[in-house]
Structure 1
């Protein structure tokens, strides 16, 4: 499938999710990160300007914050607005129970905070992200944000837990590791097919030095997948 058709699939899913879950009564909207969320923001910008003027948008990354500001929208954070009406975000992979892997873009800490603050968490993605089990399509591993001084100790622990190929994520355009918006490092830890993501999340969070894990379990209420034929597949719990 061409990149243009994939973008069309993302747009279809994003537009439908916004149309069905961003209500005129909403005053605080969480906005995720990544390529699909660009379409979410574009749809939000098409709303009645008077509604947007009454709404605060809570971004989850430097990327989404910049796009919102460029669109002239009012931006806030969860410290100011701890109660979010709805959060719409993308995902790297979603399983049949709406558990998700996020963090391919390194923003999963802020994404999870904003998702947990929301009354409703909605995922938008294209058909390539739809799996029965996590680890089927997304084989790069579970993204794990760690404090820099502890990354080697965390990596060793992950390897002991069965992720033999757990690696520090390295930057592409510069020498050295990727640094998150929060000043931390990222380790990508493959665990194969993840049959019990909630248990794996719990085990990973108990490792000292781990800040956050890119497993979003029992959080999303609904997911929209843009399909190859132009349709949108919807999954609910």
Structure 2
């Protein structure tokens, strides 16, 4: 069992280095994610920020309160104009694979986290050593899925048909209070699947990755779940990273802008390690 003090020290070290290497005091808009690690990110930003005009865009109620308590200025996502891009977004993850695909949603903020990530020019992920895995669903065994309350029974049935052995509706800590509700008033289903393949696994013949042989590739499973009626969002962050998305937008200048979906992968993940060091995993060039 990991020591709680070691874990918190690892989170703090990762946050400090991630902010030192990526936060720009001249930024205008900065996305702030949710979870325990983000508290250390905001603390590190507060130490370095000399610009009172930066607007910090939270991914939910908890991150808004963290921003406010640090004396920084929160700004609602839905108040941003269409042409504004966030300079950067910092967030955590429940698990990250070697391609920088992430599982998020343990804190039930995955929908707003995706909105903020996709609005950012780049997304930096900050986590502790437990989240560092070669494939998703290795240590964190379920995919959080945000669903409309009325759709829970058919979505549970559809997830079982996709190969999830025992998807469960997430309850509050006090079971008598019923299912946990997100900031949108939706529910969360946690769906277990076998560890997810990356495209290189499919190319190497380790599975078809389309569910037909019991294997799923990250992007294909995310898309299959997202297509289910009643699903608002899936807690898999995959597809393009921010740098790739910006290049795609720039290459399409003067035309209809392409739609960037999938939640956006981070361009780098900072893992705080047990020995106090920080391991950085960056997007492959």
Q: Tell whether the structures are fold-level matches, with TM greater than 0.5.
A: yes
In 1, are the aligned partners of 2:25 and 2:48 still within 8 Å (CA)?
no
Q: 1:181 to 1:96 in 2, by over 3 A?
A: same
CA distance in 1, matches of 2:33, 2:77: 13
Q: What is the CA–CA distance in structure 1 between the aligned matches of 2:98 and 2:44, rounded to whole Å? A: 27
Q: 1:221 and 1:161 mapped to 2: Cα distance?
A: 30
3-state SS in 2 of match to 1:125? strand
Q: Would you say 1:16 and 2:9 are equivalent positions?
A: no
Show the counterpart of 2:112: 110
Alignment partner of 1:234 is 2:280 = yes
Give the whole-Å Cα distance in 2 for the aligned partners of 1:221 and 1:70.
28
TM-score by structure 2 length? Answer: 0.80
Is 1:216 matched with 2:237?
yes
SS at match of 2:77: coil
Counterparts of 1:150 and 1:174, CA distance in 2: 20
Compute the displacement of 1:24 (Å): 2.1
1:174 is displaced (CA, Å) by: 4.6
- How far, CA to CA, are the matches of 1:63 and 1:232 in structure 2? 26
Secondary structure of 2:78's counterpart equals coil
**Within 5 A, what are the aligned runs for 1:43-122?**
43-48=44-49, 50-51=50-51, 53-81=52-80, 82-122=84-124
Q: Distance in 1 between matches of 2:195 and 2:112?
A: 26
Cα RMSD for the two superposed structures: 1.0
CA distance in 1, matches of 2:169, 2:25: 43
- In structure 1, the residue matched to 2:259 is none
Give SS of 1:79's match: helix
Q: Give me the whole-angstrom Cα distance separating, in 1, the residues matched to 2:62 and 2:11.
A: 18
1:9-28 deviation per Cα after TM superposition (whole angstroms, max 9, x unaligned): 00010111111111122110
Runs (4+) of structure 1 exceeding 3 A deviation are: none
Match of 2:129 in 1: 127
2:73 aligns to what SS in structure 1? coil
CA deviation vs aligned residue, 1:175-219 (integer Å, no higher than 9, x gap): 210000110000000011011111111111100100000000032
Structure possessing the higher radius of gyration over alpha carbons: 2
Q: Matched residue pairs, number?
A: 234
1:198 aligns with 2:241: no
Aligned residue number for residue 34 of structure 1 = 35
